[in-house]
């Protein structure tokens, strides 16, 4: 367990270094360590979900910075795997759903877009919102409902 904790700490440190320096080698090394963590952790261990979340997030960052639809597709696959195995009360579940929604939104703007990408992103974000208790600061402030014509126009409806 100690080696897993050290590896997790190193992943975080490398990710922070990448954020500060924009050094692609730091991001790549962090991703490789995260892939090892996922590969080496049995499917039955609860911590594997966190590793999948971290790897998926790192792959989304890599796509945002360097492009590559294959990287984005890998991120979507990793995040879907994490979401599939995370029980409804797993603390990483909201982050998985939110990051997967981001990845689907990104793909909707790429050459690999599928019609279901934006619908999936909306459903995932709604599931995160539905999981937050009323009054939670994470829900955001109160907003008025959009006018029906504005909401319909946003969806491309007449």
Q: Could you tell me the pLDDT band of residue 144, with boundaries at 50, 70 and 90?
A: very low
* pLDDT tens track for 49-107: 999 999 999 999 999 999 999 999 999 999 999 999 998 888 899 999 999 999 999 99
Q: Could you tell me the pLDDT band of residue 147, with boundaries at 50, 70 and 90?
A: low
Question: What residue segments make up the domains of the chain, in order of their start?
Answer: 2-94
DSSP secondary structure letters along the chain: -HHHHHHHHHHHHHHHHHHHH--HHHHHHHHHHHHHHHHHS-TT-THHHHHHHHHHHHHHHHHHHH--HHHHHHHHHHHHHHHHHS-TT-TTHHHHHHHHHHHHHHHHTSTT--THHHHHHHHHHHHHHHHSPTT-GGG----PPPPHHHHHHHTT--
């Amino acid at each position: 367990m100690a080696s897993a904790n050290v590896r997790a700490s190193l992943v975080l440190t490398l990710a922070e270094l990448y954020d500060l320096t924009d050094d692609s080698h730091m991001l790549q090394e962090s991703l490789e360590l995260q892939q090892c963590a996922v590969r080496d952790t049995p499917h039955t261990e609860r911590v594997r979900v966190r590793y999948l979340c971290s790897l998926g997030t790192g792959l989304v960052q890599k796509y945002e910075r360097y492009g590559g639809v294959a990287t984005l597709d890998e991120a979507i696959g990793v995040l879907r795997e994490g979401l599939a195995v995370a029980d409804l009360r797993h603390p990483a579940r909201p982050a998985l759903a939110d990051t997967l929604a981001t990845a689907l939104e990104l793909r909707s703007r790429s050459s690999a877009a599928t019609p279901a990408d934006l619908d999936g992103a909306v459903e995932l974000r709604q599931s995160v919102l539905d999981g937050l208790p009323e009054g939670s600061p994470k829900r955001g402030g109160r907003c008025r409902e959009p006018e029906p014509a504005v909401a319909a126009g946003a969806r491309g409806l007449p």
